Amino acid sequence: MAAIQRFIDSAQVRYIDAATKGDVAGLSSFYTDDAMVLAPNEKLVNGRTAIDQSNKQMFATMKITGLKLKTTDLQTSGEFVVETGSYDQTLQPKTGKAIHDVGKYVVVWKKQADGSLKLFREIYNSDLPAKM
């Protein structure tokens, strides 16, 4: 489990770097071809090609200026690692003021043929109350 935690800690550093640079290709490298992302207030994004398109659209309208990820639990089962954690992020739209959000996530990492792990499923949502 310690080796898996070290891998995830390292992956989080690389993921945050790609996200704050708006690097769609860098983010894409984390996902399996059949990955799914379940983001708040959006339809299911199914497959790496669709995830890339979704990220391109997001980066066209805003920049991630700050992102922190913290793993709070890890579970393994066969070829999967389930990571639960929290996030703290700041988004800067092209126009308007920055948006700060804190929340939680669950990701499922899937072991690849070469022994590496890639994101297979990702879901996250805010801890902040919904704006009405």
Residue 132 pLDDT greater than 90, yes or no: no
- Residue ranges of domains in the chain, CATH in brackets: 2-126 (3.10.450.50)
Distance CA 95, CA 78 (A): 46
Better-predicted residue by pLDDT, 1 or 70: 70
Q: What pLDDT, in 10s, does the model give residues 9-48?
A: 999 999 999 999 999 999 999 999 999 999 998 999 999 9
Residue 130 pLDDT greater than 90, yes or no: no
Per-residue confidence (pLDDT) for residue 92, from 0 to 100: 97
Burial class (CB in 10 A: 0-12, 13-18, 19+), 125: middle
Q: What pLDDT, in 10s, does the model give residues 82-128?
A: 999 999 999 999 999 999 999 999 999 999 999 999 999 999 999 99
